Chains A and B, each alone.
Chain A
């Protein structure tokens, strides 16, 4: 099953886990399985229209899905999906 890496700000919505294995053969299916398991995650990842929020990037291995097939990007069991939200802290 592909692994999704959960970033620090979102771990509070995933029982504090830093990684979750989910089923799914595309990024969209995998994220769907993630939000089904952790419903609180949904509003932090998707807007009201169900589109990925623009300050949250998703990568399959090291490639941004916006430059692949977006949510239709295929994922294999060996792939790692990273959710990377913008953070602004510096002080």
Chain B
């Protein structure tokens, strides 16, 4: 454990050292602190950069993803030169540039029930910035079992939520939400989109709470759910109460479980493969039908703003949500092919049509992304 700061550190952290709320004692707390960041994406990027800058002595990074060009709209820790690199490597490079005096530990693995306790137990605080429910519940349960505070934040489009779980006698994620939503009902950032600057604001709320917990200063965001709406530019605060059955000791979390199964998801991170059936049709076959002048209707069930990004010329746009009200625009006896971005929504749309008496309905597998890959490379992918 460090008991002093070097002269270089004193120069670097001087704006902290002259504040009574931090001072040398606080800066030493930061230097001796160990914080684990789950995810180095939208939320993880600002958290990692600012905690590195602040001088948090040991920062663990858990991420097995690589940098994609579509990440750069918000994941400011990575740059264009990093596309294709492992996120943990790219993040480490940026953090080391910001502050060479800290230790960075990289875990290039998915967090699982098998490794979570071993990884998390080495740290004082966890900052959860993942993007899926199974990992959210896994991180929570591991923190409950180990008694380690979990600084939580999540984002969607232009809204964010943040709080501190598992601190002392405070509530945990399961006190707030006992169960995950069924798969498909709550869209992820990849499906629903996210305003690029949103994780900056919400991630820094997370980083702020981490710093406060280390310093032991201020009122932690514990037992309070902070809601942020970027469009309205409003912050609201709601109470989070500990499950009354868990006073003193958690009665819900006994051990780590199979979180994929708990959340009803077949495989972590993998996009749901569209099941192949006789009602599926490949993009190549759709192209053959178009070229042959076949008499069929091609329906695009994506949203208007997606249609504006790219489209298949023949397609008629009816967003999935409007489909039930717009069935009269389609002929029940026509040969109909449905498509969306990746094939998931159009499969649902096919079900809607069949339930309403349409008989010749097929789903274009892989959606317009597969069309771009296999038929028309001039179509941009998003």
Contact surface of A with B, Cβ cutoff 8 Å: 7-9, 12-13, 18, 40, 44, 53-55, 57, 59, 62-64, 66-67, 82, 84-91
Contact = CB atoms under 8 A, between A and B. Distances in A.
A62 B237 contact: yes
Contact of B154 (A40, A57, A64, A90): A90
Given A85-B186, A91-B189, A55 B153 contact: no
A38 to B, nearest CB: 12
Interface of B: 39, 41-44, 65, 71, 75, 128-133, 136, 153-159, 161, 176-181, 185-190, 192, 194, 199, 225, 227, 232, 236-241, 321
20 contacts: A7-B159, A8-B156, A8-B158, A9-B156, A9-B186, A9-B187, A40-B321, A57-B177, A63-B238, A64-B239, A86-B154, A86-B176, A87-B154, A88-B131, A89-B42, A89-B155, A89-B194, A90-B43, A90-B128, A91-B41
Nearest to A44: B185
A87 B129 contact: no
A74 to B, nearest CB: 18
B153 A54 contact: no
Contacts of B155: 87, 89-90
A87 B192 CA distance: 11
Contacts of B199: 90
- Please indicate which of the listed interface residues A63, A88, A90 has the most CB atoms of chain B within 10 Å of its own CB: A90
A18 B232 contact: yes
A18 B234 CA distance: 13
- Please indicate which of the listed interface residues A12, A55, A85, A91 has the most CB atoms of chain B within 10 Å of its own CB: A91
Contacts of A85: 181, 186
A88 B237 contact: no
B41 A87 contact: no
Contact of A91 (B39, B133, B227, B238): B39
A55 B41 contact: no
Nearest to B161: A87
Given A54-B178, A90-B153, 18 more contacts: A7-B159, A8-B156, A9-B186, A18-B232, A53-B181, A54-B177, A85-B186, A86-B176, A86-B177, A88-B130, A89-B42, A89-B192, A90-B43, A90-B131, A90-B154, A91-B41, A91-B130, A91-B190
Contacts of B239: 59, 62-64, 67
Given A12-B321, A53-B181, A88 B186 contact: yes
Contacts of B44: 90-91
A6 B321 CA distance: 17
Contacts of B161: 84, 87
B91 to A, nearest CB: 13
A17 to B, nearest CB: 13
B156 to A, nearest CB: 4
A26 to B, nearest CB: 19
Contact of A88 (B41, B75, B136, B236): B136
Given A18-B232, A89-B131, A90-B154, A64 B177 contact: no
Contacts of B176: 57, 86
B238 A55 contact: no
Contacts of B238: 59, 62-64, 82, 84
A34 B13 CA distance: 54
